[in-house]
Amino acid sequence: MRIDELDSLRATALVMMLVSNFVTDLDYFGIMEIVKGDQWWWLARITAFLFIGISGFAYFLAHQKEYEFTKTFDRTKRLILFAFMITIITYIFAPSAYVRFGVLHLLALASIIAFPVARKPVYALGIGIVLLLIPLSSNLNLVWFGLQETGTFAVDYFPLNPWLGIFFICLAISSQIYPDGKPLLSFKWPERWLWFGRNTLIIYIIHQPILIGMLILSGQVSLDDL
């Protein structure tokens, strides 16, 4: 079940992500510096919050009329595949900061473990609150489970606290905002704009090679920097 206003908001988050990740690339290659608490630091977190939150909303809506785990898992398999592709590729090109538990790993996990409460928003809310309180560890081995404290060791890291908690809480909130799966707004959104919101995954997969390619072509980054 798709709601145009959510697809439009997802398209907005996609544009924010492209800007944020381009700035992150500039920081990674030493062209500029992102400081904790500055506008770019906040942009990255607001963008992540939008993506994770919308995913929680979409998960609730997807299971309103269709509640079959095999179909949910079929959709999740693509996320799992892309998640581990990103792990392998980043390990090749950035072995000191490769992705162990990025946003796709998080969403794949959420898609599987949230299924039992997809139609039980009160339970989803409780789980979300618990996840916001779950302690993270300094143990490096726990990074694969999203249980290590946030650090600078990876170019993309989404620990269970707070991000999985946000997913579950937004799943619960969606049941109150869209109880019947009907949009709140009657606005006619441009189809091309909605297309971006409906194809964020493939754009997410290809955007970094394009951004880094642009930096190489502009002479800001050399192949030796990769």
pLDDT at 152 over 60: no
Quote the pTM value.
0.93
- Each residue's pLDDT tens digit, 156-186: 899 999 999 999 999 999 999 999 999 999 8
- Each residue's pLDDT tens digit, 17-28: 999 999 998 988
pLDDT at 153 over 70: no
Count Cβ atoms below 10 Å from residue 27 Cβ, excluding itself.
Answer: 15
- Each residue's pLDDT tens digit, 59-90: 999 999 889 999 999 999 999 999 999 999 98
Structure tokens at 173: 């909130």
pLDDT at 155: 77
How far is residue 150's CA from residue 135's CA, in Å, rounded to a whole number? Answer: 12
